[in-house]
A and B are shown apart, each in its own frame.
Chain A
Amino acid sequence: MSRDRSADNQGKPKAGKTGAEARGSVRGFGRLGEALSGLREEIRTQQRRTFTAPKEDERGADWNSLFDELRKRVRTLGMVEHEPVVDEFGMEVAYLEQQKPFFDFMFERYWRVNLRGATRPKPSKPVVFVANFSGILPWDAMMLAHAIGRGRPTEARPRFLVQDRVLALPFAQAQLARIGGVRSCRENLDKLLAKQRSVIAFPESKEQPARSYRDRYQVTPFVDTSAVLAAAKAGCAVVPVGIVGAEDATPRLGDMAMLAKLASRDLGIPKLPSTPVFPLLGPLGLLPLPAKWVISLGEPVPARTVVEHAETETALELNGVLRARIQALVEGGLESRSSTWA
């Protein structure tokens, strides 16, 4: 606007006394001046139209509109921003998309996840990911799902299986279901694969308590055959995944059975999670530490091979093979990072 004005001012004195003379003498400047004066006139009429209508001074009108806007905002504060829509496993696509920046932050900045190994499987065919289990809250599953689902439609994100121990924590079931967590059992696996959804499974023993920090990254024998059996039934490939970093992010030092029991039985508060730093730091103790993560995708076991292991005995055999490969992937991941934090 200011530049226009200066051009206008420059044009005027050179243009002479009247508009007609100017047009005759300096044709180029004259045409510009004409256009600019037309524009100025238009702006003036516009301004007149907007500011003279309320018959108030300009400041008053501004404040009024501000108050109107504020009132509108306040009125819609407690209202529904989006209609809640969840799929049959309770996943809320809108919520996931809303939370995407948070997951991106955790993935890229906080844990600086390094995704290594084979290419991501295509989303068109369901795949069963089998990974090592770690931590109390399923951060590993969330990050793996995020790593595979990035840049793809949210509906196609792989679902992750959650163990009962985690689901029993307060707020866990609802929150995990929203972001794609499903209780770990055979029926759910079959149904997910039948619906063409990829699944992330953790077949390490359910009964085994979370590993202590000393034994981190020792993958225990896979007792749970349901992942392999379901994959064999659905005829889909199995991808071994080694996750490094999750156990450093949530180290487990001790148990808090006493406090949890007291809270759940005598105070009527649902069971508290027993993380190591929880009592010391309050809710902050639930925050994981910023360790460096490495997620290594192994070579997929093709569907053909998986189908051959449809019996419990043979499934256990395949489980043993998968465990060994995941242990190798984990060790490779451990070697690839220079320290726990970098």
Chain B
Amino acid sequence: MNPPCCVAVTGVDTFFGRRLVERWSQTDSAPRIVHCDLSQTDLSERFREEHVESVVHLSLQDVPGVESERGLASDLSSTQALLDACAKAGIRRLVIPSSTMCYGPRLENPQHMSEDARLYGQPDTRWVSTRVQIEQRVATFRDQFPLCDVTVLRYCWVMGPAYLDAIVRYFEADWVPSVLGHDPLLQFVHEDDVLDTLEAAALRPHPGTFNVVGDGLLPLSGYLRLAGKWNVPTPERLLSFVSDAPLPFSGAHRGRGFCDYLKYIWLASGERAGNEFGPRTYSSQEAWLSMVGARRLRDYQARN
């Protein structure tokens, strides 16, 4: 099957939106890109006019430091609007990024969760709950319109030289507070791998849900040791006071939801994505070190 001649991208101003556009502007064989603004009312007409074949939905919020109700509500409503427009215009391919955080941090989790595992989410974080709701809407859309190839890509925590969200900010400091008595095993995925899978899913049909995670894993203390950062085990209640940046998802709950992600296992199995998209370029450890190395270099340059 030929790659589509026209791809609509929502959220070209987000990190991955910008990167994807940049990457496609550098190659000749790249598809035409339609920047689409989700506040438009006649989205489906625009899709039809431009002969859009494939839609990549990148306008969703990254992991926020402080959750804003309005942003999350707009995430949900805009996704619904997009799904409706896709249904109306008969789009062939739809790519939705999601997060493995949707599985939820629970003591009862198996070591590696497959894509079929139930999405428990995390009730204390609105962001994760919103993502779970979005996934549910996408699942109903998939049932209703089987002709459209829907690809849901669940990423674990993204690390890389340039990517920045609340998770990266939490790990950026020289000393990282962790929850006393817990040392969770963590996976990371490199930003380039995220981009590769997004591109592959936009250009070729890969229907289904995939966990995109870096190979290998380490405990949190192992990552910190590798990076030469100080691990500061802190009682859970004090964590949000000790951390110098606001914890991810801090808002009404002072980042309590995030603490669960530092306490329990929520690893995902990337086997299916490996079979579908080929092996990832970077392992978890390499992704982590690329983030650490880039920060260090930037600090050094700033000082000189």
Contacts and interface: CB of A to CB of B under 8 A. Distances in A.
A270 B182 contact: yes
Secondary structure at the B interface, as helix, strand, loop or mixed, is loop
Contacts of B236: 268, 270
Contacts of B111: 88-90, 182-183, 187-188, 191
Contacts of A69: none
Nearest to B224: A84
Contact of B217 (A80, A88, A168, A267): A88
A232 interface: no
B112 A80 contact: no
Contacts of A268: 235-238
Contacts of A177: 185, 219
A164 B237 CA distance: 23
A164 B185 CA distance: 17
A83 interface: yes
Given A80-B226, A84-B226, A187-B111, A170 B181 contact: yes
Given A84-B225, A86-B217, A86-B219, A164 B107 contact: yes
Nearest to A190: B110
Interface residues of B, number: 28
A174 B218 contact: no
B226 A83 contact: yes
A90 B185 contact: yes
Nearest to A82: B225
B222 A173 contact: no
Interface string B104-144: 00011111100000000000000000000000000000000
Interface string A258-295: 00000000011110000000000000000000000000
Contacts of B55: none
B147 interface: no
Nearest to A164: B107
A267 B108 contact: no
A261 to B, nearest CB: 15
Contacts of A239: none
Contacts of A88: 111-112, 216-217
Given A174-B219, A177-B185, A191 B107 contact: no
A191 B180 CA distance: 30
Interface string B238-272: 10000000000000000000000000110000000
Interface string A167-204: 11011011001100011010110010000000000000
A35 to B, nearest CB: 55
Given A80-B225, A268-B236, A268-B237, A168 B185 contact: no
A133 to B, nearest CB: 19
Secondary structure at the A interface, as helix, strand, loop or mixed, is loop
Interface residues of A, number: 26
A173 B265 contact: yes
Contacts of A167: 107
Contact of B218 (A86, A171, A187): A86
Contacts of B181: 170-171, 269-270
B183 interface: yes
Interface in B219-238: 219, 221-222, 225-226, 228, 235-238
A167 B228 CA distance: 28
A191 B217 contact: no
A83 B221 CA distance: 12
Contact of B182 (A89, A173, A178): A173
Contacts of A183: 107-111, 265
A174 B179 CA distance: 12
A80 B181 CA distance: 21
A177 B182 CA distance: 11
Given A173-B265, A188-B110, A84 B182 contact: no
Contact of B219 (A80, A84, A187): A84
Contacts of A188: 110-111
A197 to B, nearest CB: 12
A185 B238 CA distance: 33
A86 B180 contact: no
A185 B109 CA distance: 9
A171 B178 CA distance: 12
Of B110, B216, B217, B265, chain A has the most CB atoms within 10 Å of the CB of: B110
Interface string B148-179: 00000000000000000000000000000001
Contacts of B218: 84, 86
Interface string A72-111: 0000000010011010111000000000000000000000
Contacts of A270: 179-182, 236
A19 to B, nearest CB: 64
B180 A84 contact: no
Given A188-B111, A268-B238, A86 B222 contact: yes
A37 B180 CA distance: 69
B108 A174 contact: no
A16 B44 CA distance: 117
A269 B217 contact: no
B112 A174 contact: no
Of A89, A174, A269, chain B has the most CB atoms within 10 Å of the CB of: A174
A300 B181 CA distance: 39
Interface of B: 107-112, 179-185, 216-219, 221-222, 225-226, 228, 235-238, 264-265
> Top 7 closest A-B pairs, CB basis?
A170-B181, A268-B237, A174-B183, A84-B222, A187-B110, A270-B181, A268-B235
11 contacts: A86-B217, A89-B111, A90-B185, A173-B184, A173-B264, A178-B219, A182-B111, A183-B107, A183-B108, A187-B111, A188-B110
Given A268-B237, A270-B181, 19 more contacts: A80-B226, A80-B228, A84-B221, A84-B226, A88-B217, A90-B219, A164-B107, A167-B107, A170-B181, A171-B183, A174-B184, A177-B219, A183-B107, A183-B111, A267-B237, A268-B236, A268-B238, A269-B235, A270-B180
